[in-house]
Chains A and B, each alone.
Chain A
Amino acid sequence: MLKLEKRAQPSQVWTYATPLLAVLVTMVAGGLMFAALGEAPVTAIRTIFWDPLFGQFAAFSRPQLLVKAAPLILIAVGLSFGFRAGIWNIGAEGQYIMGAICAAAVGLAFYPLEARWLIFPLMILAGLLGGMGWAMIPALLRVRFGTNEILVSLMLVYVAESLLATMALGPLRNPDGMGFPGSRNLSQYASSANLELIARTGMHWGVVFALVSVILAYGLLSRHIFGFNVRLSGDSPKAAAFSGVQPGRLIIACMAISGALAGAAGMFEVAGPSGQISIDFNVGYGFTAIIVAYLGRLHPLGILLAGFLMALTYIGGEVAQLTLGLPRSAIQLFQGMLLFFLLAMDLLTNYRVRFTKTGGA
């Protein structure tokens, strides 16, 4: 019979091996699921993981990797601070939407003025502040009234979605759009467009921002006292209080960081790949980023890799939907499996599995 023994120290080997193992097990379980859906499992897995990079149409799908990975990484890096400290911002999706709305509003307010040097930075600022402001609602409610930030931030996603629809149909609707919902296309407006910096790579300003955020987060977490306080609070809130960490300030700081980065991700998306505020602007980056953050062990470099992996499943999923006709929900289930197996495998980091001969007490 199996028995679990707590390790004195978390295993170093398993800390790094579990994400890889989780990916492998997800492939196996996902393969079984695809087989149950009537697809050849190996083909399905290859379509998701291999074809987007090296397949026939890889030239089209490869740039998408950076486009999809950038918002995931940006949001996940922000979330990782709070998650490490035990502050659960589940509403990054809403902060992402609010960042996009604020940035788009700023950009559209200047339309058709040609002043990229002013408008583009202002939009980034608006995106940061929009996401941060939305995240401040659950943060301040938690600090002031002790509400649960998980519930508040999550519910605010639906508020943000309604607001998005209102904006797309109302104040931000394109006056020249012949009544169609949706704003002007920001990517076609020279002052606001978040275009590819290097042609056909998918490299845009959001990617630059994501990489910078990874480096800054790494420095903050490993070298700065703020990062130490975040880790300390997550490990032991009482020890953090003894050390002198003020929990309220930490909550507000972590929520501000995650909200701001999610908002920035929204800005880069609305000014570039998406181009406009529309009813279906958000595609779940804010939720998928939670998986990315955990898949990357809440470590900035891990998140970088996990972001690319998750982006790959997004693109591969689309390819599989197109070529194999797999349902969209199957792809989402596949992504969910990844988080599920990762969390399950985590057990191996902190526990040792032993086989005992007798079925004892």
Chain B
Amino acid sequence: MSSETLLSLKGLTKAYPGVVANSDVSFDIRAGEIHALLGENGAGKSTLVKTIYGLVKPDRGEMVLGGAPYHPAEPRAARTAGVAMVFQHFSLFDALNVAENIALGMEDPPRQRDLAMQIRKVSDDYGLPLDPTRIVGELSAGERQRVEIVRCLLQNPRLLIMDEPTSVLTPQEVQILFQTLRQLSSEGTSILYISHKLEEIRALCQHATILRLGKVVGTCDPRRTQARDMAEMMVGTSLLTPEKAPGEIGEVVLELRKLSAPPPHQFGSALREISVSVRKGEVLGIGGVAGNGQDELLAALSGEMTTPNDMVMIKGQPSGALGPTARRRAGLCAAPEERNGHAAAPDMSLTENALLSGRVRRGLTSRGFVDWPAARDFADEIIATFDVRTPGADNMARSLSGGNLQKFVIGREILQKPDVLIVNQPTWGVDAAAAAAIRQALLDLALDGAAVVVISQDLDELMEISDRFAALNEGRLSAPRAAKGLSVEEIGLMLGGAHDMEVAHAEA
């Protein structure tokens, strides 16, 4: 590892109306190092990397890249200077093939055949197997990420920025990605690695900068720092771990009998003969890499997608053909993954959003007429109970931060006291303190005798709160196993292993 500085940030400040996203941020990234940028949601990580990538112009401060002043006016300038970025959300066209997608992002793309050869070479060199002729819509999330990485590597970057790259990968795929990143690092490429998964950072990074509320609050060598200490630097207070009190497991309240459904749209997943039963007081964790049927499973349980009646049994009653309203009446509530635009309507007030799913179980209408004061009370109750930070229930859902809206959405379902609660990605994009609160609320609900199904890609979360664990892979659900004592390797195998990927050739 060389100690020469590649990129130096000096006093970067960026304010938006009402919030200072970055305040006097300074740190150095050395050539060839893997540098972690740590922080909660809203700490200013995104703004900072967008500044480096030329998407955001800082109000103050400067950057020096390889000894020369660096002020990218736009991403193209950043790419020319040797900075590449892999975004958390991919910008790929499903209907085009891999090479076409990569060509779209290039200044003057070579002929398709030449490009395909370059793609093959780069993917071979770095152990990222990728067929340039495959249609992106058919690729798994991990493979899509490889398309983005290869797209970056074709530019021979000096600095590669990776934003939360492992959220869509199985543990085995994570290992392969790490091999690639280590190889790049050994060849002299610097990597700025953004994540909130502390164990990953400890395994991969040589240096970490921690942001809180837009300021650098600390730096450390993650290999020599406890995860807990880093987390506390990130949050600023000490963290509470959700406590799981041994509750009483009762009778079966939700049973799936060979639940099968065709994919709802072209790039959706089919559900294939899912059989499982969940008992009162129990938390069933369902893990899996995104795009393996999570959304479809949630829709089939919430009633948004109906199935033959006896495939879903709620409290012994066939319910597969019931819609969401009837299922709520029967005692099943659900919270989908997408907060804005699915679980909540972004341009409607929190009062209206409380009505959205709380109508039946909270009796918010009589003869079709809405009892607005009662809906407002319900919204206020959610806001108070789940510590939703908002000026009031009249505010639009979209004015809330992601974590706050998530607390509202989960709180709305929990306060309806369901017998069965299904949640998908309950803490996705939520800061550590709020995530802990949500997990605790889910555990409390189970303790009160509800059956809770948590669908998540965050394995740590699932291990923390589940009684039993099952994996969803290509629309099939593995047999559930007791969560206690499962090893990471076993979970990885349940998740479908590495999808037949291979470790970087260069290692051998």
A8 and B398: CB pair below 8 A? yes
CA–CA, A10 and B2, complex, Å? 52
B346 proximal to A (CB < 8 A): yes
B336 proximal to A (CB < 8 A): yes
Minimum distance in angstroms from B440 CB to a CB of chain A? 25
Give the residues from 221 to 254 in chain A that come closer than 8 angstroms, CB to CB, to chain B: 223-226, 228, 231-232, 235-236, 238-244, 246
B417 proximal to A (CB < 8 A): no
CA–CA, A232 and B369, complex, Å? 16
Interface centre among A8, A225, A240, A244 (most CB of B within 10 A): A244
A238 and B338: CB pair below 8 A? yes
A242 and B399: CB pair below 8 A? no
A112 proximal to B (CB < 8 A): no
Given contacts A231-B348, A232-B356, A244-B328, contact A238 B369 (CB under 8 A): no
Residue of B nearest to A232 (CB): B345
Give the residues from 304 to 342 in chain B that come closer than 8 angstroms, CB to CB, to chain A: 304, 323-326, 328, 334, 336, 338, 341-342
B396 and A242: CB pair below 8 A? no
A239 and B365: CB pair below 8 A? no
Which of B336, B359, B399 has a CB less than 8 Å from the CB of A225? B359
CA–CA, A9 and B342, complex, Å? 19
B170 proximal to A (CB < 8 A): no
Minimum distance in angstroms from A222 CB to a CB of chain B? 8
B73 and A242: CB pair below 8 A? no
A361 and B57: CB pair below 8 A? yes
Chain B interface residue count, CB cutoff 8 Å, equals 37
A360 proximal to B (CB < 8 A): yes
B302 and A9: CB pair below 8 A? no
A235 and B302: CB pair below 8 A? no
B25 proximal to A (CB < 8 A): no
Given contacts A9-B396, A225-B369, A244-B303, contact A235 B357 (CB under 8 A): no
B286 proximal to A (CB < 8 A): no
A238 and B342: CB pair below 8 A? yes
Chain B residue numbers with a CB within 8 Å of A241 are 304, 324
B57 and A228: CB pair below 8 A? no
CA–CA, A243 and B372, complex, Å? 17
Given contacts A224-B368, A225-B369, A360-B57, contact A9 B395 (CB under 8 A): yes
Given contacts A242-B304, A244-B324, contact A224 B370 (CB under 8 A): yes
Chain A interface residue count, CB cutoff 8 Å, equals 22
B323 and A235: CB pair below 8 A? no
Which of B324, B338, B396 has a CB less than 8 Å from the CB of A243? B324
Chain B residue numbers with a CB within 8 Å of A228 are 352, 355, 370
B28 proximal to A (CB < 8 A): no
Residue of A nearest to B347 (CB): A235
Minimum distance in angstroms from A320 CB to a CB of chain B? 40
B462 proximal to A (CB < 8 A): no
Minimum distance in angstroms from B316 CB to a CB of chain A? 22
Give the residues from 61 to 111 in chain B that come closer than 8 angstroms, CB to CB, to chain A: 73-74
B368 and A225: CB pair below 8 A? yes
Report B286-314 CB contacts with A as 1/0, cut-off 8 Å.
Answer: 00000000000000001110000000000
B344 proximal to A (CB < 8 A): yes
Minimum distance in angstroms from A323 CB to a CB of chain B? 46
CA–CA, A242 and B345, complex, Å? 10
Which of A9, A224, A242, A360 has a CB less than 8 Å from the CB of B324? A242
CA–CA, A142 and B304, complex, Å? 20
Chain B residue numbers with a CB within 8 Å of A240 are 345
CA–CA, A239 and B303, complex, Å? 13
B369 and A242: CB pair below 8 A? no
B304 and A239: CB pair below 8 A? no
Chain B residue numbers with a CB within 8 Å of A8 are 396, 398-399
Minimum distance in angstroms from A8 CB to a CB of chain B? 5
B343 proximal to A (CB < 8 A): yes
A244 and B325: CB pair below 8 A? yes
B356 and A243: CB pair below 8 A? yes
Given contacts A228-B370, A242-B302, A360-B73, contact A10 B324 (CB under 8 A): no
Which of B73, B302, B325, B348 has a CB less than 8 Å from the CB of A232? B348
Which of B54, B303, B341, B399 has a CB less than 8 Å from the CB of A238? B341
Which of A10, A235, A239, A361 has a CB less than 8 Å from the CB of B343? A239
Give the residues from 163 to 221 in chain B that come closer than 8 angstroms, CB to CB, to chain A: none
Residue of A nearest to B323 (CB): A244
CA–CA, A361 and B74, complex, Å? 7
Chain B residue numbers with a CB within 8 Å of A224 are 368-370
A239 and B370: CB pair below 8 A? no
Chain B residue numbers with a CB within 8 Å of A232 are 345, 348, 352, 356
Report A177-221 CB contacts with B as 1/0, cut-off 8 Å.
Answer: 000000000000000000000000000000000000000000000
Given contacts A236-B346, A360-B73, contact A225 B398 (CB under 8 A): no
Which of B343, B347, B348 has a CB less than 8 Å from the CB of A242? B343
Chain B residue numbers with a CB within 8 Å of A242 are 302, 304, 324, 334, 336, 342-343, 356-357
Chain A residue numbers with a CB within 8 Å of B302 are 242
Which of A226, A239, A246 has a CB less than 8 Å from the CB of B341? A239
Chain B residue numbers with a CB within 8 Å of A361 are 54, 57, 73-74
Chain A residue numbers with a CB within 8 Å of B398 are 8
Report A350-361 CB contacts with B as 1/0, cut-off 8 Å.
Answer: 000000000011
Minimum distance in angstroms from B57 CB to a CB of chain A? 7
Which of B57, B323, B356 has a CB less than 8 Å from the CB of A239? B356
Minimum distance in angstroms from A338 CB to a CB of chain B? 25
Report B31-75 CB contacts with A as 1/0, cut-off 8 Å.
Answer: 000000000000000000000001001000000000000000110
Chain B residue numbers with a CB within 8 Å of A10 are 347, 396
Residue of B nearest to A243 (CB): B356
Residue of A nearest to B365 (CB): A225
Minimum distance in angstroms from B42 CB to a CB of chain A? 15
Chain A residue numbers with a CB within 8 Å of B324 are 241-244
Which of A223, A243, A244, A360 has a CB less than 8 Å from the CB of B370? A223
Chain A residue numbers with a CB within 8 Å of B365 are 225
Q: Contact residues of B with A, CB < 8 Å?
A: 54, 57, 73-74, 302-304, 323-326, 328, 334, 336, 338, 341-348, 352, 355-357, 359, 365, 368-370, 372, 395-396, 398-399
Sort A-B residue pairs by CB-CB distance and give the 8 closest, nearest first.
A244-B325, A244-B324, A236-B345, A239-B345, A238-B342, A235-B345, A361-B73, A243-B356
15 new A-B contacts, CB < 8 A, other than A232-B352, A361-B54, are A8-B399, A9-B396, A223-B372, A224-B368, A232-B345, A235-B348, A240-B345, A242-B302, A242-B304, A243-B359, A244-B303, A244-B325, A244-B326, A360-B57, A361-B74
| 29 examples of A-B residue contacts, CB within 8 angstroms | A8-B396, A9-B395, A9-B396, A10-B347, A223-B369, A223-B370, A224-B368, A225-B369, A228-B352, A231-B348, A232-B348, A235-B345, A236-B342, A236-B347, A238-B338, A239-B343, A240-B345, A242-B304, A242-B324, A242-B334, A242-B343, A242-B356, A242-B357, A243-B325, A243-B357, A243-B359, A244-B323, A244-B325, A361-B74
